[in-house]
Copies of this chain bind each other. A is one copy, B any other.
Amino acid sequence: MAVFTQFSHGEIIALWTVMGTAVAGLLYAVMLMAQVLREDTGTAEMQKISGSIRLGANAYLYRQFKTILFLILLITAALYFTAGEKHIAIGRACAFLMGSVFSATVGFVGMNLAVRGNVRVAAAANRRSFGDALKIAYRTGTITGMLTDGLGLFGGTLIFMIYGEKAYEVLLGFGFGGTLLALFMRVGGGIYTKAADVGADLVGKIEKNIPEDDPRNAATIADNVGDNVGDCAGMAADIFESYEVTIVSAMILGWASFGHKGVIFPLLVRAIGVLSSIIGTYAVKAKEEVRDAMKAINIGFILSAIISIIGFTLVGLFYLKFEGKEQLPFWCGLGIAGLDMRPVWTTMVGILLAITVNRLTEYFTDPSKKPVQDIAESCQTGHATNIITGFAVGLESTVWAILVICISILISAFIYQGTNPTFVAYGVAMCGIGMLTLTGNNISMDVFGPVADNANGIGEMAHLNKDARQILADLDAVGNTTKAITKGIAIGSAVVAAISLFNAYITDISAITRQTFDQIASALSVSGPNVFIGLLIGGSIPFLFSSLSIKAVGRAAFLIVKEVREQLKDKLIWEGKKLPDYAKVVSICTAAAQKELIRPGLLAILSPLLVGFLLGKEALGGFLAGMILSGQLLAVFMANAGGAWDNAKKFIEDGNMGGKGSDAHKASVTGDTVGDPLKDTAGPALNPLIKVMNMVALLAIPLVIKYEHSRIVGLGSLAVTVFLIFLLLRDPKIEKEAVKT
């Protein structure tokens, strides 16, 4: 342990300031929590519905944590052996535990607040006003957002303060913990939410012709639980992990490039982000009109962005004084001698990227824009044309998303042109830091979605008055928009984070093999057959992973169909005289999601190891590149196609193209259903996937280098590969007779 010994006086002050800000962020979350919990919880009926949802959601998370506990402990032990020195090994193992516990906490607390917030939002709409309801819903989201900000910053800073120049090896453990947990939350939550949704609809809407959220349908509570498990816990863990991974890679690359300053600067930037998110989110207040809502949220966002930009500039002016003797171009230091503002410029590129990605996502999924309207129009000619048009829209949207990311990376790299490759990589990492500056605001917007959605559901089930119902419906619509928009950021940041991790991977090989960055680079040429093969295999993994999780939804949904049908055979339930056994469906859903987690999870953890041990570190490099590329393409495709189909349905339900009940509407429902597992299961799970595989590669690289020519390890890996392929080829069996309608 080497607390403080390596830091200058000024650095210690800076680090404690960052720590203080992280704690301030957490305190702000606690304050909001108290505010929200103090609100009125509505009628007894509302409380009962909300209580069932809360019970189910908690049951799911407990089971989820229990399932992965063993794996987490196993990996903690394994990590102990990946590091050389003993205190680093202990640190890495502990940091891994801390990362996973933090990620779990963000998900757990976020979800718990969401399931408490929903009923309070409904109550506010019932007894008070639109403005109040909006405020409660938004602030419920902000709690999760600030937890993410605070815990992420706290953990990273703490590790750096304790380990100083060895921090980098420990940080890897921290990042991996968060990422792995996010993967399981995303996959498990994604399967749960869509299995419940599809299962409830197949029996309820299609077979029995009863409305959504009908209390006789045993899957309704599971369906509402799913919204929280997937959109809230899953999303929060996912963004927490991006937030963590970007800071880890920035710190690794910052250390390699600029030493202490390179590490402390991103921490300061993050601290400013926390402050600006506190101010920006607290400023969100709306009057009595719907159109004010989106405006208020946007104003909060822009306010935070402006504060951040000013803050970055100030920190840069005071902190970024380097003593290098080279003459930097004017724009680097604004003409001030010895000033190097380049890290500031790259973070600003990141903020711009975040805003542009938001706009792009909005364009492709907003009902008032051409893509969604094209899809809605194509519903008039039937199911198939709707699917085809949405498919084409999804494919197209990937291109513009990639172009925007490429341009940002290019500018970040351009800012560091003429310097050495680690500096350039640092620039890209800082762009990622900038992109996630406004994480607090983004998560507020995102979690706002399921809270408003649930509040609306409770409002309907508890038969609130018409005015309240209108308020809740309006809130739900706003929530749909904000939720869809933030998906773009989640994916975009995953890619930038993955690219930074990838650069860290190369820096790492370079450190271990004592070769220069250039020497490593030449081994990673796409012209080598191994690298190219790695690229092809890596590119195919997201396809297989998506296929596994989509099929899992189908299988789990069938089980639910069977159970709901069985319960409806009870006359008392069908006549509404007895409540169905909601808990049983929740528990089937939970069990199925856990069981289906195993295969995608193993694929994510094992495939980079196997490629590394069988084909070498160069192939593993190609593998990572290919996987980032196809993961990004698929994730954007699935998110946007799914979002566009969803909104096309809503657009038709608003009375266009014949409105509800028309043939066009039926076709649009098909599109929405197809999009569901894409946008809410497979697509979002790709974000943590690409980072988990990068992390595994980073952690395993010393072992890969050590054993890549070992025959025994090679044969062992071959055996594991055969076993894995065998496992992947055998779909779990389900009882098929459940399917027949």
5 more CB-based (< 8 A) A-B contacts, given A392-B551, A526-B621: A384-B671, A388-B554, A406-B536, A413-B530, A526-B526
Taken together as a complex, chains A and B put the C-alpha atoms of A666 and B663 apart, in Å, by: 14
Chain B residues with Cβ below 8 Å from A506 are 527
A-B contact pairs, 8 of them (CB 8 A): A378-B554, A378-B739, A399-B543, A402-B536, A524-B527, A526-B621, A526-B625, A630-B633
Question: Is the C-beta of A103 less than 8 angstroms from some C-beta in chain B?
Answer: no
A190 within 8 A of B: no
Min CB distance A520 to B, Å, is: 7
Nearest chain B CB to A441 CB, angstrom units: 27
User: Would A632 and B536 be within 8 Å (CB), given that A387-B387, A543-B399, A670-B383 are in contact?
Assistant: yes
Q: Which of A366-415 contact B (CB under 8 A)?
A: 377-378, 380-385, 387-389, 391-393, 395-396, 398-399, 402-403, 405-406, 409-410, 413
- Are B421 and A528 in touch, CB under 8 angstroms? yes
Measured as residues with beta carbon below 8 angstroms from the partner, the interface class of chain A is 35 or more
Q: Which residue of B lies closest to A522 (CB)?
A: B522
A573: chain B residues at CB < 8 Å are none
Nearest B-chain residue to A427, judged by Cβ: B529
Give the contacts of A706-741 with B (CB-CB under 8 A): 736, 739-741
Distance, CA A338 to CA B517, complexed state (A): 42
CB-defined contacts of A522 to chain B, threshold 8 Å: 518, 521-522, 525
State which of B410, B621, B670 has its C-beta within 8 Å of the C-beta of A670.
B670
Chain A at the B interface: SS class:
helix
Asked whether any CB of chain B lies closer than 8 Å to the CB of A206, the reply is yes
Residues of chain B lying within 8 A (CB to CB) of residue A523: 525
Given contacts A533-B410, A633-B543, contact A550 B736 (CB under 8 A): no
Given A622-B526, A629-B535, does the pair A670, B387 have CB atoms closer than 8 Å? yes
**Residue A224 is within 8 A (CB to CB) of chain B in the complex:** no
Contact (A532, B499) CB under 8 Å given A537-B403, A547-B395, A630-B633: yes
In the complex, what distance in Å separates the CA atom of A533 from the CA atom of B378?
35
B residues within 8 A CB of A206? 382
Question: Counting CB contacts under 8 A, is A677 at the interface?
Answer: yes
Choose among B384, B547, B615 the residue that contacts A393 (Cβ–Cβ < 8 A).
B547
Chain B residues positioned under 8 Å from A378 (CB to CB): 554, 739
Min CB distance, A231 to chain B, in Å?
Answer: 20
A393, A540, A548, A671 pick with most chain B CB within 10 angstroms: A540
Q: Who on chain B is nearest to A624 by CB?
A: B526
List residues of chain B with CB within 8 A of the CB of A673: 382, 384-385, 388
A396 cross-chain contacts in B, Cβ below 8 A: 543-544, 547-548
Q: Mark A628-639, 1 if CB is under 8 A from B, else 0.
A: 011011000100
In the complex, what distance in Å separates the CA atom of A701 from the CA atom of B738? 60
A202–B528 CA distance with the chains assembled, in angstroms = 50
Choose one: B502, B547, B671, B741; the contact of A381 (CB below 8 Å).
B741
Q: Are A531 and B540 in contact (CB under 8 A)?
A: no
Is A445 part of the binding interface, using a Cβ–Cβ cutoff of 8 Å? no
CB of A307 within 8 A of chain B? no
Measured between beta carbons, the chain B residues less than 8 angstroms from A669 are: 384
Report Cα–Cα, A732/B128, bound state, in Å.
50
Question: Contact at A736–B377, with CB atoms within 8 Å?
Answer: yes
Interface string of A648-666 (1 = CB under 8 A from B): 0000000000000001000
CB-CB nearest in chain B for A538: B629
Cβ contact of A554, chosen from B389, B403, B553, B736, cutoff 8 A:
B389
Chain A, 548-604, CB within 8 A of any chain B CB: 548, 550-551, 553-554
A615 vs B387: C-alpha distance in the bound complex, in angstroms?
36
